[in-house]
Structure 1
Amino acid sequence: MFRGTYTAIVTPFAEDGSVDYAAFEKLVGIQLEAGVAGIVPIGTTGESPTLEDDEKARLIEICVRRCKGKAQVVVGTGTNSTAKSIKASRKAQELGADGCLVVNPYYNKPTQEGLYRHFKAVADAVKIPIVVYNIKGRTAVNVETPTLMRLIKDCSNIKAVKEASGDINQMKGVIAKRPKGFSVLSGDDGITLELIKAGGDGVISVASNIVPARMHAMVKAALSGKMAEAEKLNAELAPLFEAEFIETNPIPIKAGLAMKGLIKETYRLPMCELRQQNREKLKEVLKEMKIL
């Protein structure tokens, strides 16, 4: 079962645009020191669309090696091509990943039947657990609850959903109908506490890139039923939850990590640097939160 804080880790680039593997390994180490439950490389926050297959493989290898016996590694393997998603998921399995995060296909806008067949084909192709990643805002399609329940019933290794649909009622519906052992993880830092209160199991977090210990503490408190403590910690984190989406993710969180000197503020087009006005706003938030 997936439970706790999972960090959707960024992919650092050197000034020449190449992947900075040394910086990536350092970031993984910081996450492990904070005690997170798992790391999710090569997802949205990891800029997966602009990574080459050999780069992805090396990032997975680093993650698996560093996390062995300490935290789970759930690799982003989903694309809008079922065949490519299967290939990527098999590679992640081969390299020792603990699970695959498979996004709903984007741009081609499949029907609910198409979504079902896509996720089932990927799940059938591997033995490791699959986390369905439902994010309508980036894909233009929603994995509806009946479709998800059908997948859970028919695919024994579909073990969790990362819910970023933005619809808390849909999330609560999934929680109410899910079988025992199926995890519901928030895909939005800002609603994590609300989701846990409703019976959710944790978060795949952007904020934990820069405040892993604080995010872990908030989620741990909530899952332990210490709601007063969780509420306090969540309120302290709220300004970051807002600031991390001041522009498209992962631009702000990478800018924040660069301000801390952990990475270079380098992106691959079409992603580009944070606008100066927003940079000042982000810096102010990070200073107020004593992150800088």
Structure 2
Amino acid sequence: MNNLTGILKGTGVAIITPFTKTKAVDYAALERVIEHLIKGGVEYIVTLGTTGETPTLTKNEKLEIIHFTYEKVNNRVPVVVGIGGNNTQAVIDDVKSYPLDKATAILSTAPYYNKPSQQGLYEHYKAIAEAAPKPVLLYNVPGRTGRNLSSATTLKLAHEVPNIAGIKEASGDFQQCMEILRDKPNNFLVVSGDDAISLPLIALGMDGVISVAANAFPKEFSNMIRYCLDGNYQLARPIQYQLLQAFDLMFAENNPAGVKSFMHQLTLIENELRLPVVPVSSELEQKIKNWLKLYQQ
């Protein structure tokens, strides 16, 4: 098994895709965001995650974003590339054809909408891992996919498929998380996919987080995660509680509309999204402004 537990420990960020007012990819803003994240001390960047609005990006845009991200990151932190979908063969074609030479790993979301059985999920991931030139991280996010990747299926993949190196677990189910942590192979990476509950999940033994909130607050969030990993919960807890309402506001209507609103207020990006996702309501935007005002005092 590929050991990513040393390389991808801590805070990874599912980076947003900034758009211009004409809805084109805003590369100047993307460079700003990458610098913001690296200067903020995050451990690695995940490009083309669902937070990057990948369902609305063309294949050419995806390839351009990967190349641009490699170039601007310039080996300062690892880069993980998101390649997932609900057509297994199409995902296999992508993992074979995408520029992955500079990637540390592939993050692949569980198939959505078609609701495969646990056996179907197992076969889907096994086929992708066997075709992939880099280690594969499973991504379980039943709130978005409509199907939970069970702890039994995760553990079967972890023990039986050599190129599956870890999981981003976003079920919010503590029992399921504990079963995975208890029975996983030694070097199998387990990270939280839920910002608000990363602290308790690291207390249970997770290796870190792939975060949305860290797009806006890389320094605070990655410091908190490092404190947790060091077992210093006395320093971690105040940051967690300081950011708790921000997590609520961020996900109140839609991701990434929430985090993009925060980042727009922080003058990092334009507040632009592609349909079917729209900016947050004016009421929520006002709450975000009010929260930031208090936070920045």
TM-score by length of 1: 0.96
Equivalence map 1:133-212=2 (5 Å) = 133-212=139-218
Query: In the alignment, what sits opposite 2:32?
Result: 26
Deviation at 1:78, TM superposition (A): 0.4
- Residues 1:87 and 2:90 aligned together: no
- Residues 1:106 and 2:106 aligned together: no
Number of matched residues? 291
Give distance in 1, aligned partners of 2:230 and 2:39: 21
Deviation at 1:155, TM superposition (A): 1.6
Instruction: Provide the alpha-carbon RMSD of the alignment.
Output: 1.3
Equivalence map 1:52-131=2 (5 Å) = 52-131=58-137
Query: In the alignment, what sits opposite 2:253?
Result: 247
Query: In the alignment, what sits opposite 1:50?
Result: 56
The question of whether the paired residues in 1 share the 8 Å contact of 2:169 and 2:177 is answered with yes
In structure 1, list runs of 5 or more residues that go unmatched: none
Deviation at 1:11, TM superposition (A): 0.2
Give distance in 2, aligned partners of 1:243 and 1:270: 20
Give distance in 2, aligned partners of 1:113 and 1:263: 42
TM-score by length of 2: 0.95
Give distance in 1, aligned partners of 2:57 and 2:101: 17
The question of whether the paired residues in 2 share the 8 Å contact of 1:192 and 1:203 is answered with yes
The question of whether the paired residues in 1 share the 8 Å contact of 2:63 and 2:99 is answered with no
Deviation at 1:93, TM superposition (A): 4.9
Deviation at 1:243, TM superposition (A): 1.2
Query: In the alignment, what sits opposite 2:226?
Result: 220
Query: In the alignment, what sits opposite 2:295?
Result: 289
Query: In the alignment, what sits opposite 2:243?
Result: 237
Deviation at 1:95, TM superposition (A): 4.8
The question of whether the paired residues in 2 share the 8 Å contact of 1:98 and 1:128 is answered with yes
Give distance in 1, aligned partners of 2:200 and 2:97: 35
The question of whether the paired residues in 2 share the 8 Å contact of 1:14 and 1:20 is answered with yes
Counterpart amino acid of residue 9 in structure 1: I
The question of whether the paired residues in 2 share the 8 Å contact of 1:161 and 1:184 is answered with yes
The list of structure 1 runs, each at least 4 consecutive aligned residues, that deviate by more than 3 angstroms after superposition, is 91-95
